[in-house]
Amino acid sequence: MAQRVAVLVVLMMAVTACSSTSAKTTAAGTRTVAVVAGENFWGDIVGQIGGAHVKVTSIISDPNTDPHQYESDARDAVAIAKADFVVENGLGYDDFMDKLLSASPRSGRDVLSVQKILNITADGANPHVWYDTARLPQVAAEIATELSDIDPADARAFTANAKAFDDSLSTITDVVSQIKSRYSGTRIAYTERVPGYLVDAAGLVLGVPASFARAVEDGNDPSASDTAAFNDAITTRSVKILLYNEQVTDPATTKIKNLAVRSGVPIVGVTETLPSGDKNFQAWQLRQAREILTALGG
């Protein structure tokens, strides 16, 4: 491991030494800001706000990758070393980003932590903050500001694109509002806290032990009592739907899913990263919200 880290550091130092500390200008005069996002959903949002003036690299985009346990490689190191602007989630979700940044110090590089922008300081806070649609305009505004600092000539475009992004979120919040108006107080279950912010915004109630999801999220086995309580909620159908993290599974969650199938509890799959089948962040979140509404009865 020590040898691997040393190689990454050498690679990053070499690339940093030959890379500019500001946005690049092509022969055609078009300015392009090199952006690295820890996850592809933040990368997609930055891409929408930056438009043709950014080139975005998202480190985690594979739907089969567990972001909680991701280990960076030399390719990630090179991308970070070249970046003008870096976006990380924070809240312990992408600690690998802090390690890469620490190993590749560079003056003039802007780093945006979504956790800091949203001022989330509580211990054990749900890190899946991109499901908190109502707060995304706050993040979009900061992204536009950071891009404008790097590329002032295109500041007006960044501001306009951020507003367009904000406006597009209304289709998602409308569906969430429909869920709340029809099903507020309905008990649901989830295998991880991935959709937790959406669940709260929709007025739904967790009907299984919260500690089950936390154990799975931390890579631990849920306790026997939590598992028994979860199983009981499914078999008695005291919960109306199961929100199942399709991206991170283990024997415990697979058993829960199979039990839900046998018990006739509707299952809605959710993911931690933007799937390749969805056009953009908004399409992804809208689809999942609509699937939840349909599963609850439409």
Identify the residue whose tokens are 């609850």: 296
pLDDT tens-digit profile of 199-245? 999 999 999 999 999 999 988 999 999 999 999 999 999 999 999 99
129 or 7: which leads in pLDDT:
129
Distance, in Å, from the CA atom of 92 to the CA atom of 107, rounded to the nearest integer, reads: 24
Asked if pLDDT for residue 16 goes beyond 60, the answer is: no
Q: How confident is the model at residue 61 (pLDDT cuts 50, 70, 90)?
A: confident
CATH topology of domain 2-168: Rossmann fold (3.40.50)
31 or 148: which leads in pLDDT:
148
Distance, in Å, from the CA atom of 107 to the CA atom of 41, rounded to the nearest integer, reads: 26
Distance, in Å, from the CA atom of 231 to the CA atom of 91, rounded to the nearest integer, reads: 30
Distance, in Å, from the CA atom of 108 to the CA atom of 50, rounded to the nearest integer, reads: 19
Range scoring the smallest mean pLDDT among 43-47, 87-91, 215-219 = 215-219
pTM of the model: 0.90
To which H or E segment does residue 60 belong?
strand 54-60
Spell out the residues 6+ positions from residue 41 whose beta carbon is closer than 8 angstroms to its own: 130, 273, 274, 281, 284
Distance, in Å, from the CA atom of 107 to the CA atom of 292, rounded to the nearest integer, reads: 45
pLDDT given for residue 132 in this prediction: 98
Mean pLDDT of 100-120: 93
Range scoring the smallest mean pLDDT among 5-9, 123-127, 176-180, 207-211 = 5-9
CATH topology of domain 171-296: Rossmann fold (3.40.50)
For the chain, the domains span 2-168, 171-296
19 or 162: which leads in pLDDT:
162
Q: For residue 204, give the nearest of 116, 118, 293 by alpha carbon.
A: 293
Instruction: Give the three-class secondary structure for 11.
Output: helix
Q: For residue 286, give the nearest of 176, 186, 179, 202 by alpha carbon.
A: 176
